[in-house]
Amino acid sequence: MTQVQIEMPDSDRELFVRQARREGMTLSAWLHAAGRARLETQQRARPFASAEDAMAFFRACDDLDGPEMEPDWSEHLRIINASRANNVAGK
């Protein structure tokens, strides 16, 4: 296994160590897990390589649970404006 030495502010190290301990991990294991999580996120966020990739994505979205049709935008707008008029959002 390779060892890596990194520089970071002492304040970050203290925060990272505390969080790692909360999660029952060493700092090394926690940083490793954080790096892997970031890689997974970046790999999922890649752009579509082709039109077929985009269509596959939209087919997968269609298979997800949700309303059969999007609600009417004018109805959304009416509710938003009524909320603003009654100051509901500010409560």
In tens, the pLDDT along 30-52 reads: 999 999 999 988 877 778 899 99
What's the rounded Cα separation, in Å, for the pair 17 and 23? 10
The encoded tokens of residue 27 equal 């700092």
**Helices 27-44 + 10-22 axis angle, to 10:** 90
| pLDDT band at 70; cut points 50, 70, 90 | confident
pTM: 0.48
Q: Is residue 9 scored above 80 in pLDDT?
A: yes
What does the domain layout of the chain look like in residue ranges?
Answer: 1-64
| pLDDT band at 68; cut points 50, 70, 90 | confident
Q: Is residue 89 scored above 60 in pLDDT?
A: no
